[in-house]
């Protein structure tokens, strides 16, 4: 079943501008939001600008929700759910678009700063599935949050502004790499060697104290002073006043190390986007845009953006937590009389698209793919009936009936889509949050955008696939 390239639909059509304009908005988002906290804050503001109120506000006001009302809930600043109340009873089910907003990266350890041979470093622990050798010798930025002992916190970014310094993980020169180059790729760079070089000037000892203790770790001490000055400058921006930061504050901070720089147009024809974090922000952005378009839908529309997917959807902000279930319970209570049976019916009767990326077919590495069942850049929205590894391990496997329903929606709305799975059967595989939706006994299928170089510091997507995903989400929200 050969699928056409979606570009054909737009080449002689005024809608080509819509494809390109939508991509510009996405590029700005991708450049600005490189952590789950930043994504959550961005989407919360966007929701409020479009008439959404928080569920807490609705509860405090004793508001009874009706068709067309728009509410949202956040979870620890890393997860957000948006709802547009439908005309039908919630017990009859919702139309849910679920994506994740975390991406593979490096995290600072809790005791990260150290000095070795006159160089200061930050020690890291990688997050998610990465090829470690891809992260060396490239400019890196720090995006973080420090929770202070007085109960306040500040957010900061260092390395994205042109005037900012950037950071780097060094590599061994080829002249001395005889042993390194004999290693397997997964061991060329070891996890404990992903240490970020952050400075080399020692602290000035004005008293000329030659005592060994006084001259120890002078570079580290100087870098710590610079970090404190940086933090205090961010404090001034937020109006929190001066706080005496100290090395122990690393224990209550979350700092994510990500590639520095903006998302860029790629290719002479500007048909592609090169950027960090397409997985899975290329699905989360059109998800929110689709939910914002819903006015008075037949069924309640939900956009759910979760954290921790890259490490198994665990923890309080992952899909496995009770956050989503609890929020739906609150929603039911705000629309009528709550009961556990009502909640179970609402979840079981819902339809969902687990919006996550697909591995795009790459002709350079064709041996890893099966041509007839791969996602191709430029062929539109990629639907995965199942994911998992090898024998479908860890997979949700959508029913034929639900697959037929999805096909009907897309075909009826002139949406270019393709079916795919992740590479050859015994080559590997991967999972999404779909199986967790499935645990509620709801119909769910995986669908998203094809990506080249998935989980690399910079990934590649097609602008037309992004736009077809947006249109697919809009159609699903309105008609499922």
| Tens-digit pLDDT profile for residues 127-167 | 999 999 999 999 999 999 988 888 888 899 999 999 999 99
Indicate the pLDDT class of residue 430, thresholds 50, 70 and 90: confident
Percent of the chain past pLDDT 90, that is, above it, reads: 81
Q: What is the pLDDT of residue 439?
A: 95
Token digits for 99?
């994506």
Q: What is the pLDDT of residue 204?
A: 80
Distance of CA 420 to the CA centre of its chain: 21
CB neighbour burial string for 209-233, b if at least 16 within 10 angstroms, e if fewer? eeeeeeeebbbbbbbbeebbebbbe
Do 129 and 385 form a contact (C-beta atoms < 8 A)? no
Indicate the pLDDT class of residue 423, thresholds 50, 70 and 90: confident
Which is nearest to 419 in space by CA: 395, 443, 398, 390? Answer: 398
Q: What is the pLDDT of residue 395?
A: 86
Tell me the average pLDDT across 354-374.
94
DSSP 6-63: THHHHTTSTTHHHHHHHHHHHHHHHHH--SHHHHHHHHHHHHHHTT-EEHHHHHHTTP
Indicate the pLDDT class of residue 428, thresholds 50, 70 and 90: confident
A 10 A CB-CB count for 81 gives 23
Question: What is the 8-class DSSP label of residue 471?
Answer: H
Token digits for 465?
């696939």
A 10 A CB-CB count for 142 gives 25
Indicate the pLDDT class of residue 281, thresholds 50, 70 and 90: very high
Tell me the average pLDDT across 434-462.
96
Whole-number mean pLDDT of the chain?
A: 93
Tell me the average pLDDT across 351-366.
95
Which is nearest to 143 in space by CA: 238, 261, 46? Answer: 261
* pLDDT score of 206 more than 80: no
Q: What is the pLDDT of residue 44?
A: 98
Q: What is the pLDDT of residue 215?
A: 67
Tell me the average pLDDT across 38-48.
98
Q: What is the pLDDT of residue 250?
A: 84
Q: What is the pLDDT of residue 249?
A: 84
Tell me the average pLDDT across 365-394.
91
CA-to-CA distance for 199 and 79, rounded, in angstroms? 35
């Amino acid at each position: 079943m050969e699928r056409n390239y979606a570009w054909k639909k737009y080449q002689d059509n005024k809608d080509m501008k819509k494809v390109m304009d939508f991509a510009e908005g996405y590029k700005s988002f991708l450049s600005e939001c490189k952590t789950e906290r930043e994504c959550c804050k961005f989407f919360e503001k966007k929701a409020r600008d479009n008439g959404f109120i928080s569920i807490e506000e609705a509860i405090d006001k004793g508001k009874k929700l009706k068709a067309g009302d728009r509410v949202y809930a956040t979870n620890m600043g890393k997860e957000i759910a948006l709802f547009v109340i439908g005309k039908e009873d919630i017990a009859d089910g919702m139309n849910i678009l679920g994506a994740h907003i975390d991406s593979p990266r490096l995290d600072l350890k809790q005791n990260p700063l150290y000095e070795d041979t006159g160089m200061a470093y930050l020690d890291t622990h990688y997050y998610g599935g990465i090829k470690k050798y891809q992260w060396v010798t490239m400019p890196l930025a720090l995006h973080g949050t420090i929770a202070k002992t007085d109960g306040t916190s500040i957010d900061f970014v260092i390395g994205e502004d042109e005037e900012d310094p950037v950071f780097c993980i060094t590599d061994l020169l080829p002249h001395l790499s005889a042993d390194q180059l004999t290693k397997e790729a997964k061991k060329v760079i070891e996890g404990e060697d992903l240490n970020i070089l952050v400075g080399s000037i020692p602290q000035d000892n004005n008293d000329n104290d030659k005592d060994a203790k006084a001259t120890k770790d002078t570079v580290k001490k100087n870098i710590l002073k610079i970090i404190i000055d940086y933090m205090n400058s961010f404090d001034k921006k937020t109006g929190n006043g001066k706080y005496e930061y100290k090395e122990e504050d690393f224990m209550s901070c979350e700092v994510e190390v990500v590639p520095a720089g903006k998302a860029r147009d790629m290719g002479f024809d500007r048909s592609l986007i090169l950027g960090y974090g397409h997985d899975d922000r290329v699905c989360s952005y059109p998800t929110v845009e689709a939910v914002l378009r819903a006015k008075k839908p037949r069924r309640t529309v939900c956009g759910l953006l979760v954290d921790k997917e890259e490490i198994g959807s665990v923890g309080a902000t992952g899909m496995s937590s009770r956050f989503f279930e609890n929020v739906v319970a609150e929603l039911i209570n705000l629309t009528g009389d709550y009961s556990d049976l009502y909640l179970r019916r609402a979840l079981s009767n819902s339809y969902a698209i687990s919006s996550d990326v697909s591995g795009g077919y790459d002709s350079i590495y064709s041996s890893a793919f099966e041509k007839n069942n791969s996602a191709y850049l430029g062929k539109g929205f990629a639907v995965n009936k199942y994911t998992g590894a090898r024998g479908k391990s860890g997979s949700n496997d959508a029913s034929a009936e639900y697959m037929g329903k999805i096909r009907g929606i897309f075909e009826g709305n002139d949406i270019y889509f393709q079916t795919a799975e992740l590479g050859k059967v015994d080559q590997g595989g991967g999972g999404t949050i779909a199986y967790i939706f499935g645990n509620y006994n709801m119909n769910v299928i995986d669908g998203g955008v094809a990506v080249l170089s998935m989980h690399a510091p910079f990934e590649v997507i097609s602008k037309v696939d992004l736009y077809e995903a947006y249109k697919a989400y809009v159609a699903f929200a309105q008609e499922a």
